[in-house]
């Protein structure tokens, strides 16, 4: 449920200090294997890691971060599922709050004032931070997130 781009960002930070670091490059190779990314998925990414080109790898990550280049399908799928899980939890939380706010069984109830919730814990914080960076969620502080306006 974690993101390949987060693992590769860690690798790039490590390579900034030592571009020939065998540990960092083996982590990058392992991440591609663990996440099932092949040369067909992203030939340039695979070539950069295979040739140990830290500059190209950094450029690919900055393009992902800026939106100039689409993230890998796997990462996009994780973000999509996480946002769907967030919306579902928010809906359930609102329904629960609105069903018990007014008290009496004959009352019409009233709207809940809940606008931020703690996201599902099956996704790591890096997923939620990426959704905030993409402006699909807003960080409400203290581990709470709210939907961005218009999302």
The residue that leads in pLDDT, 73 or 150, is: 73
What percentage of the chain carries pLDDT values higher than 70? 93
Q: Residue 107's pLDDT is what? A: 62
Distances 134 to 63, 86, 89, 123, 146 between C-alpha atoms, Å? 13, 15, 20, 16, 13
Q: Is the per-residue pLDDT at 99 higher than 80?
A: no
Using DSSP, state whether 145 is helix, strand or coil: strand
Alpha carbon 133 to chain centroid, angstroms: 9
The residue that leads in pLDDT, 102 or 133, is: 133
pTM: 0.86
Residues 104-123: pLDDT tens digits?
666 666 677 888 999 999 99
Residues 33-64: pLDDT tens digits?
999 999 999 999 999 999 999 999 999 999 99
Domain layout of the chain by residue ranges: 4-66, 73-147
Residues 65-74: pLDDT tens digits?
998 999 999 9
């Amino acid at each position: 449920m974690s993101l390949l781009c987060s693992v590769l960002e860690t690798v790039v930070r490590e390579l900034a200090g030592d571009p020939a670091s065998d540990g960092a490059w083996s982590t990058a190779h392992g991440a591609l294997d663990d996440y099932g990314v092949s040369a067909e998925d992203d030939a340039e990414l695979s070539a950069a890691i295979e040739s140990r080109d830290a500059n190209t790898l950094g450029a690919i990550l900055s393009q992902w971060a800026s939106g100039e280049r689409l993230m890998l399908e796997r990462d996009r799928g994780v973000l999509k599922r996480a946002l769907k899980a967030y919306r579902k939890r928010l809906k359930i939380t609102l329904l629960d709050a609105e069903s018990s706010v007014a008290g009496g069984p004959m009352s019409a109830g009233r709207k809940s004032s809940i606008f931020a919730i703690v996201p599902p814990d099956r996704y790591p914080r890096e997923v939620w931070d990426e959704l905030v960076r993409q402006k699909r969620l807003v960080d409400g502080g203290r581990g709470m997130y709210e939907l961005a306006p218009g999302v």
